[in-house]
Chains A and B, each alone.
Chain A
Amino acid sequence: MMKTVRAAFLTTLPVMTGYLAVGVAFGLLLQKSGYGVAWAALSSVLVYAGSMQFVLVGLLADGSGFVAVAMVTLFVNLRHFFYGLSFIDTFRAMGRRRPYMIFALTDETYSILCTAKPPEDVDGKAYFFWIALLDQSYWVAGSIAGSLAGSLIPFDMTGLGFAMTALFLVLLVEQWEAFRTHEPVFVGLASALGAVLVFGRGNLLLPALVTIVVVLLLMKKRLTREAYAPPTPPAPADGPEAGGAP
């Protein structure tokens, strides 16, 4: 098992950097609005959704009604619906670990799992599970640390959050290489930039995702042509074949 944990730990090091930094910011913010370490820990263990937890700080401060909270959460997190589509077969094979894998599918864990390849002598399912679990542990640790001591951090953390963007970039380079066609990448870029222009910087994710889904579906015939070659689907090495070229 140690070999699996070690492999997963190395894979998640970039997420550790980003989650600790952003988690600290969340814990500090929550603490400043009057909710201490127990609240930071509780929301990072139970909710575990980065951007939604920052929204949660505001909801708690306002004492919002439950229906409003439910609607806001649904809207902010709706993008996760599309993340799950890539892992339906992969997670189905993961047995009792499946509920946790679904619960823990954040933007960052999703990104890592899309390209993660377990080392040859490591159980792919356990490797995926440890990636998800380690990621959440960084987030919880960061939140708690931020709540307890966020204002005491001795060095300037400005810019550390770029680690998250760097992670997305690296994974994008990997995806670029894994596919023979780069058109989905351009669809993603154009949709996101268009969403910024139309809906503003603050609400780009959901409109961008809807556009991506619609455009990809319109391009289905073109993308699945023989000449474009099937990409490698995300799946643990020992899992069942997850899809392949449809």
Chain B
Amino acid sequence: MSALLLHALGIVLVTAAMTFVTRSAPFVLFGKKRGTPPIVLFLGTYLPPAILAMLVVYGLKDVRLLAYPYGLPELIGVATVVGLHVWKRNYLLSIFVGTAAYMVAVQWVFQGTL
């Protein structure tokens, strides 16, 4: 194996190791003891809704509101997903129909966007 490939392998392995470090850190810090500290329990309980809201923003971060098509495909997609989910409570239906609506919007309705 050439030095270049060996270095590339090293990069992958370092990335893998450090990713596992970030994921296992809370379990190493708080996982051993019998009782998890109350502050961690509090965060563990209240973080998920906040983090999901953040991830929704993350998913929509590349929307340009001030240029054509002014975020309309995203608005259509988001409204379809939320509307369907509040109405029918069916994960797959909400996600598939919402994604399909978005794909139709970006590929056919609002062309020349990408």
* A242–B60 alpha-carbon span in the complex (Å): 32
Interface centre among B7, B12, B16, B45 (most CB of A within 10 A): B45
* A231–B49 alpha-carbon span in the complex (Å): 11
Contact B19 A49 (CB under 8 A): yes
- CB-CB under 8 A from B49, the residues of chain A are 172, 175-176, 178-179, 182, 184-185, 188
Interface centre among B40, B49, B56 (most CB of A within 10 A): B49
| CB of A2 closer than 8 Å to a CB of B | no
| CB of A205 closer than 8 Å to a CB of B | yes
Q: Mark A155-180, 1 if CB is under 8 A from B, else 0.
A: 01011101111111111110110110
| CB of B106 closer than 8 Å to a CB of A | yes
Interface centre among B10, B22, B51, B107 (most CB of A within 10 A): B51
Minimum distance in angstroms from B97 CB to a CB of chain A: 9
Q: Mark A54-80, 1 if CB is under 8 A from B, else 0.
A: 001001100110100110011001101
- CB-CB under 8 A from A185, the residues of chain B are 49-50, 52-53
With contact pairs A164-B59, A217-B43 given, residues A81 and B48 touching in the complex (Cβ less than 8 Å): no
* A93–B48 alpha-carbon span in the complex (Å): 20
CB proximity to A under 8 Å, residues B18-68? 18-27, 30-31, 36, 38-62
- CB-CB under 8 A from B17, the residues of chain A are 70
Contact B42 A208 (CB under 8 A): no
Stretch at the interface among A82-90, A135-143, A144-152: A82-90
> Chain A: which residue is nearest B32 at the CB level?
A92
* A136–B105 alpha-carbon span in the complex (Å): 30
Interface residues on A, range: 35 or more
Partner of A103, one of B20, B62, B99: B20
Number of A-B contacts (CB under 8 A): 275
With contact pairs A48-B19, A81-B25, A158-B107 given, residues A234 and B57 touching in the complex (Cβ less than 8 Å): no
- CB-CB under 8 A from B58, the residues of chain A are 168, 192, 204-205
With contact pairs A159-B107, A162-B98, A188-B49 given, residues A74 and B114 touching in the complex (Cβ less than 8 Å): no
Contact A46 B12 (CB under 8 A): yes
* A215–B108 alpha-carbon span in the complex (Å): 42
Partner of B85, one of A111, A170, A186, A216: A170
Contact A243 B45 (CB under 8 A): yes
- CB-CB under 8 A from A231, the residues of chain B are 45-46
Contact B47 A82 (CB under 8 A): yes
Contact A173 B44 (CB under 8 A): no
With contact pairs A86-B47, A162-B102, A162-B103 given, residues A173 and B86 touching in the complex (Cβ less than 8 Å): yes
Q: Which residues of B contact A (CB under 8 A)?
A: 4, 7-8, 10-27, 30-31, 36, 38-62, 73-74, 77-78, 81-82, 85-86, 91-92, 94-96, 98-99, 102-103, 105-107, 114
Q: Which residues of A contact B (CB under 8 A)?
A: 10-11, 13-14, 17, 35, 39, 42-43, 46-49, 52, 56, 59-60, 63-64, 66, 69-70, 73-74, 77-78, 80-89, 91-92, 98, 102-103, 105, 107, 110-111, 114, 156, 158-160, 162-173, 175-176, 178-179, 182, 184-189, 191-193, 196, 201, 204-205, 208-209, 212-213, 216-217, 220, 223-224, 230-231, 233-234, 242-246
